[in-house]
Each structure stands twice: as C-alpha cells, then as structure tokens.
Amino acid sequence: MTEPILEITNLSISFFVRAGEIPAVMDFSCKVMPGEAMGLVGESGCGKSTVALGVMRDLSNRGKITAGSIKFKGRELTSMSEKDLRKIRGSEIAMVYQEPMASLNPAMRVGRQLMEVPILHENTSVEEAYDRALEMMELVRLPDPERMMDSYPHQLSGGQQQRIVIAMALLSKPALLLMDEPTTALDVTVEAGIVDLVKELGSRFGTSMLFISHNLGLILETCDRITVMYSGEAVETGSVNDVFEQMRHPYTQGLFRSIPLPGADKYSHPLVAIPGQLPLPHERPAGCNFGPRCAFFEAGKCDIGEIHMQDAGVGEFHFSRCERVAEIDWDAPPTHDGIIEPTVPGEVILTVNGLKKYYEVAANKMFGGGESRVVKANEEITFNAREAETVAIVGESGCGKSTLAKILLGLETATEGTVSLGNLEIGSTDIGDRDTGTISSIQMVFQNPFDTLNPSHAVGAQIVRTLERFGIGNTPDEREERMLELLDLVKLPREFAKRMPRQLSGGQKQRIGVARAFAGAPKVVVADEPVSALDVSVQAAVTELLMDIQRASRTTMLFISHDLSVVRYIADRVVVMYLGHIVEQGTTEDVFSPPYHPYTEALLSAIPIADTKVVKKHIVLDGDIPSAMNPPSGCPFQTRCQHKNAVPGNICETDLPPTRTLAGGHQIKCHLADDILDRMEPVVALG
C-alpha cells in the first residue's frame, strides 16, 4: 500500500485568548493519498480553515496544536523546526486562499511574483524562472501571458487573479495543495472555469489536494473523498459517493435536506432546515456537539462522554461520529407538515417598461475636465410582477440587478422608461419625493446580515424607528407592541428587542432585516441575495420564513440572486440579466428547460449541484464578464457565447438581438435560429 501524502491523526488545535482556551479543532483525523482530492466541508466556524492553517503551521501566536500529529510524506510537521518548515511551505505544500487580491502583492508585477517561487525554492536563474512562469501562465489558460506578466494585480479581474494565485501555487510542483474556498469570491461562470482548471491540473501533475468549501456541490465536482466537519470535529468521512448517497450522520443528512436540489418544490417538498444554530466554541454541549439540534437525539446516550468516530456500516473507509449510527433508519423520508396550497398570483402590481439607467463617469474627477464616459447599467428592462408572485432576477456581478433594485427603491432615478407600482409612476421619483405610503409599500431585504443592522442601536429600536417613519401606531407604546408582534412573525423571542446586533447570529440578523422590510405591509419586497451570506443550515430556515410571510401577506417578491438552485426552488418566474440586458425571461419551468439563451445554458451548467444522480452538460465559458464601461458591440454575450458560430455572418457582433417571444410568453434575446433553439438539450438531467 502506498504511503499517504498527508496523514492527520487525532489533531486538536486551540486558540488561547484572554477568556481562556478555545478549542477550534478536536480529535480530527484524515488521510490524503497521492493524487487524491479530499474535500473538507462545513459551515463557518466549524474549524475547517484552522485545519488547513494547522497543516501549514501558520496559526498565529494565539493558536497552538495541543494534541495529535500531522504527517506529511511520513515527516512529522507538528514538531518540525521553523527552518525546515520554510523549505516545505510554498514548495511542497502550497496554499490558495479565498481572496485572490489579498494573496497577491499589489505593488509587484505578477510576473515577478511568479518568478520568485522557482528562484526562492530552487535557486533557478532569472531566465529559467521567467520561462517557467510563462509556461505556467499558459497552463492556467490566461490569455496573452506575456503581456499579463507585466501587469499589476489590480489590472486583472478576480478570476484572472485567482488563476495567477493557482499558477503560483503550482509552480514549484507541490505534492499537496491546500485550497481554502478558492472560488467563493468569484462569479459562478468564472468559478466553473477555475474548478475545471483545478481538476485538470490536479490530474496532470498528480497533486494531492485538500479542498475546503462550504458548498457540497463543489466538493462533489472536485473531490474523491469528503470529510464533513461540525463545530470543530469531523463528523463523517468517506468517499464522495458513499457520503452523498448513503450519509450516516444526522448533520450531513440535515445539510442535504436544507439545500435546494433538483426535485425540491416549495409546495410539495419544501426544504427542511436544521433547527437551532451552531454552538459557540466555549458553549459546546456535553457528548455529541450536534445533539441539541439533532432529531435523533437520545438522552443518556448522545449527551454523555466522548463520541468517537465509528464505522458507518456501508462503504469502505466510511466513518461517522454518531452513537446511534446503527439504529437510525437512514432512508426514512423527511417529515413534512403537509402539502402547502400553491399560491395563485393576482393582478399585476409592478410594471417596468423600457427602463434605462446610464451613469456618467467623469474621467478626471478632481478638476471636472476631460471626457466623461457613460456606464450603461440597465438597458431596456421590461418585465412585470403580479401580486403574491415571486420573480427572480438572476445574473452575475455587474449585470445591473443592483441598479435595478436601487431604481425600484428610489435611491436612483431612471434615465428613461417607466416603473409603475399599481397606477403610480415611481421610476423617476427619488426616495425624498415619495410619500410615506409609497415608501412603505416597496421595501428591501439586504444581502449582508452583518451590515444590514446598525451596530449602535438595539434591534427593537431599529424596528420601532421604521414603524415611526411609516406612520404606523399613534403612540410609542403602540409601536412597541407592533414591533414585538413583528418579532413573533419572524420567529424570534421577544427578549431580542433589547439586544444589540452584535449579540445576534447572522441568521437572526437577517430575520430582523425581514421584519423591518415587512413592517409597513409592503406590496413589493426586493430581496437582494438575502441568504447567500448565511450558513447552509440557516439558509433554508430564512428562505422558508421569507416565503411563509410572503404567502400570508400576498406580497410580491423580487428575489435577486446568482444561485439558480435557490431560484428554481423559490421563484414563479425568472428574469435572467447579463450586462444590463434581460437576455431571457419566462416562468421558472420555461427558463429551466430548453430552449435556453446561451447564457442561461452556461449558468445552469456552472452551478454545482450536490446530487450524484444529476448528469450535467459541461459548458465552461471563456474569459470574464466584460466591463459595463466598455460593453461589447452587438449582443452583450457575444464575447463568451458558445453558440456564436451557429449564427451565420457576424450579426452577433454588429446587431443587438431582438427580444423574441416563444410559446407561453417565454422571451429570449438571441440571434440563434428557431431550429437550433428547438434542438437544445436539457443541461441538467436526473440520471
């Protein structure tokens, strides 16, 4: 049997702070064989990044390895001297972090940064280092590598930066590559390209990988084996197929049930959220850490002593940290509260017609001179939304979805076109000119839970202030009472009114954000990626809450997102945007089945789906999203389109495609001929 590249046994890492010792990782074991990719999955604060930093022995001065061993190629890392470690770091073990901009030195040309690796670790000559750097730039598929060697990091896009970081990591041909959420900061279509690259390079160089992610779908696409972590412990480990198909830990099962997989339906198969929240490191329960949130919890068994990893009973090297692994019926379907009646949409509430938003950006701000450039954030946006309907607006960064939200809310005014709320034109009215009724009838749920509440004011006071602005309640006492009712509505205890935002978890903050948006009985709520910054197990709960409130109040929801899995689950109709244009819109069913707009097709293919039964068509787009400052001529998508050669002539490059209406009001903005559209195959199929 071959020697493992990395062997971690019973590793414990603690951080020592003023409050005392905080265990971050406990009793963690895993093995990475040569050429194998091990996925480490878990929610924020579960210790997955600490494991990677522990392998690098880069735990700052507060963190210490308190027990266990880390063996790299048979050599013990925990007791290695700093000098020997330096030789290994960057040459035999390389690391890729989440933020590419933070990994690159902004004051150095990327070429020099790449060349440093062979010069430092292998004492090569400058010429050889240059050649090798150039070769690696080509391998990570960067366009025009020679010119790119001479650029500074800020001149590159996020995807290109991350490719540079990966190139740098691979330059010394490491035996082990640690990747800590390498694609989280990137757009989905760019992410798909990076994932593709990592997979290819991994098999090409035979590099072993430790791939850290919170995204189960991504792990399925990249890894051979998986370790699921919860609250500092590994709770389940095994081959990807075993764990995905025959999970043997309640937490893993809960995770899978709380993410929208194909087949989930908001009416008949709603998501099942894991109740409760991650325990704080110093408040972990006795026995099983997952005990208080577990449906299979049995007092006297799960809450005493230490729970150890044990054989899961199915699959090879499949272990689970569950005392009752042999007793639980793992195939029992989740229990539901019964089927929810589908909502019937009412009258049209919101109509957006020919909306355009241009920004003028002065080339030289200081003296006002120079030529000004126009950023076309929104071009010809036309759609409507009916009462109680959920309309998803899908697109990647820079597609203009946030600008659209700003216009709807009155933070910006439209350059051209109209937005009507009921019979009232609001597209050209700034928030300052809107009356209280209009303001309270269109509200927003923000993306970042850590930013949505003012850290200086108590939670209750912030809701009360909203009520005050909207003129709800005549006396302070009435508003106080209404505020407490809103807390009940979002299923938070009434005591939370007096808490400060920092005392709340991300999910709880987002609930307050929902309460605030629904405070004035709005007709339309714009939800800007309301769950994307939350942990997977909390996402489902907040999503369900949002839908419950929406259903009860028959509010129209505009759900802005880049995540098509959530969109497929939650939306009635979908609007797909690219570079300020609506490229496709229709009912969820229409948009998710062929014919597609080529962009939608690529987007669908790019979303990692955590289901082994799903067969996906493999489409990876070249390049990055063009800048809205300098959009391509003709069709906005023509620079990356995979079907461009199916259109005769260069019409894609010269003419903006017309919006074509297909059966059932399904609209596509594309030059492709009807027969090609008709022949399109579904991207995602259940195998």
Residues that bind another protein (CB under 8 A): 18, 409-411, 431-432, 434, 436, 439-440, 443-444, 446-448, 451-457, 465-466, 468-471, 476, 502, 513, 516
Closer of 433 and 485 to another protein (Cβ): 433
Do residues 93 and 178 lie in contact, with contact meaning Cβ atoms separated by under 8 Å?
A: yes
Q: What is the number of other CB atoms lying within 10 angstroms of the CB of residue 500?
A: 14
* Nearest distance from C-beta of residue 457 to another protein, angstroms: 7
Closer of 184 and 448 to another protein (Cβ): 448
Do residues 194 and 186 lie in contact, with contact meaning Cβ atoms separated by under 8 Å?
A: yes
Closer of 38 and 453 to another protein (Cβ): 453
Q: Which residues contact 547 (CB under 8 A, 6 or more apart)?
A: 266, 390, 570
Closer of 81 and 474 to another protein (Cβ): 474
Q: Which residues contact 118 (CB under 8 A, 6 or more apart)?
A: 124, 128, 129, 132, 133, 171, 172
Closer of 409 and 680 to another protein (Cβ): 409
Residue 43 burial (10 A CB sphere; 0-12, 13-18, 19+): buried
* Nearest distance from C-beta of residue 448 to another protein, angstroms: 6
* Nearest distance from C-beta of residue 412 to another protein, angstroms: 11
Closer of 170 and 472 to another protein (Cβ): 472
Q: Name the nearest CA neighbour of 574 among 342, 354, 401, 379.
A: 401
**Backbone angles phi and psi of 129, in degrees to 5:** -60, -40
Give CA–CA dist 503/525, Å, rounded: 26
* Nearest distance from C-beta of residue 31 to another protein, angstroms: 38
Q: What is the number of other CB atoms lying within 10 angstroms of the CB of residue 429?
A: 17
Closer of 215 and 462 to another protein (Cβ): 462
* Nearest distance from C-beta of residue 456 to another protein, angstroms: 4
* Nearest distance from C-beta of residue 362 to another protein, angstroms: 11
* Nearest distance from C-beta of residue 372 to another protein, angstroms: 15
DSSP 638-671: TTT-TTGGGSSTTHHHHSPPPEEE-GGG-EEE--
* Nearest distance from C-beta of residue 465 to another protein, angstroms: 8
Angle at 568 between CA 565 and CA 573, to 5 degrees: 145
Closer of 522 and 586 to another protein (Cβ): 522
Largest CA distance in the chain: 79
Q: Name the nearest CA neighbour of 218 among 672, 640, 566, 606.
A: 606
Give CA–CA dist 391/216, Å, rounded: 26
Closer of 124 and 448 to another protein (Cβ): 448
Closer of 77 and 439 to another protein (Cβ): 439
Give the residue ranges of DSSP H helices in 360-458.
Answer: 401-409, 436-441, 449-452
Give CA–CA dist 115/93, Å, rounded: 17
* Nearest distance from C-beta of residue 222 to another protein, angstroms: 32
Question: E-assigned strands of 638-679?
Answer: 659-661, 667-669
- DSSP-assigned letter for residue 619: -
What is residue 609's three-state secondary structure?
A: coil
SS3 sequence, 186-200? CCHHHHHHHHHHHHH
* Nearest distance from C-beta of residue 476 to another protein, angstroms: 8
**Backbone angles phi and psi of 552, in degrees to 5:** -65, -35
Closer of 318 and 479 to another protein (Cβ): 479
What is residue 585's three-state secondary structure?
A: strand
* Nearest distance from C-beta of residue 544 to another protein, angstroms: 23
* Nearest distance from C-beta of residue 569 to another protein, angstroms: 25
The H or E element spanning position 246 is none
The H or E element spanning position 48 is helix 48-56
Closer of 167 and 453 to another protein (Cβ): 453
